Amino acid sequence: MRVFVAIDVPEDIKEELWKDFGEWRRALGGVKWVEAHNLHLTLRFIGETTSDRVDKLIQGLKDKLWAHSPFTIILEGVGTFPNWKRPRVLWVGVRGDLDPLFKLQKAIEEVVSDVGFPPDDKGFHPHLTIGRVKRGKKVSSHPKEPNFSYPFIVGRVVVMESTLTQDGPVYTPLSEIRLRGGAG
C-alpha cells in the first residue's frame, strides 16, 4: 500500500480552483495538471507500507488528533518549487493563522514516528500541488496569476491510499479522522 495523510479540500473549492487555472492549463504545455477531484493538502507522505502498519497509523492518529480543534486556512496565491526559473511543481499557497496547521502536522509526525516510519527530512511546506512540470520540459512564462481566496474549516484529516495508474493516481480514503468537534 502507498499511503499519505492529507486535508481534503471541499468539493466546491476544488471546482473553483480548476476553473481559476483554466487559462494556465490552456497556455502551459509540458505540465501534468492535478485533476480537481485529487486536490488535497498533504500533511505527511508515508509511501509504501503494509496494511498492519496503516492500521496502527490510523489508530495512533485517532488517539492523538482528537486533542486538536478545527481551524480555518485560506487557499491563496501561486508559487513553484524550487522557483519560477526552474519550476518542477506548481502550487496554491496556504495562508491565514497557520499555527494550528503546523501543530497538527507536528502531531501527525509524532504518530508516524511512533509507528516506526522514518522522519520526514524535507520539512513541512503547506501547499496544494496543482501541476507538475514534465521531465525535460520548461515553463518560460505563465499567464496572469488568478486572483482567488478560498477559506475553509479544517475539521478532519484523511489517510489516503494512492494507486498509481497510467492515467494518473487514484486516491482512496482509508480513514477519516475528525478533530475535536470537527465536521466531516
Q: E-assigned strands of the chain?
A: 2-8, 31-33, 40-48, 71-81, 89-95, 127-133, 150-154, 156-165, 168-178
Report which DSSP code applies to 69: P
CA distance 152 to 164: 29
Pick the catalytic residue from 40, 68, 125, 142: 40
127 is catalytic: yes
Exposure on the CB side of residue 103, measured as CA atoms within 13 A: 14
Helix (H) or strand (E) run with residue 48 in it: strand 40-48
Name the nearest CA neighbour of 11 among 29, 28, 33, 35: 35
C-alpha distances in Å from residue 93, one per residue of 53, 65, 87: 31, 24, 15
The bridge status of strand 127-133 relative to strand 168-178 is unpaired
Pick the catalytic residue from 68, 125, 127, 142: 127
Report residue 85 CA to chain centroid gap. Answer: 23
Catalytic residues: 40, 127
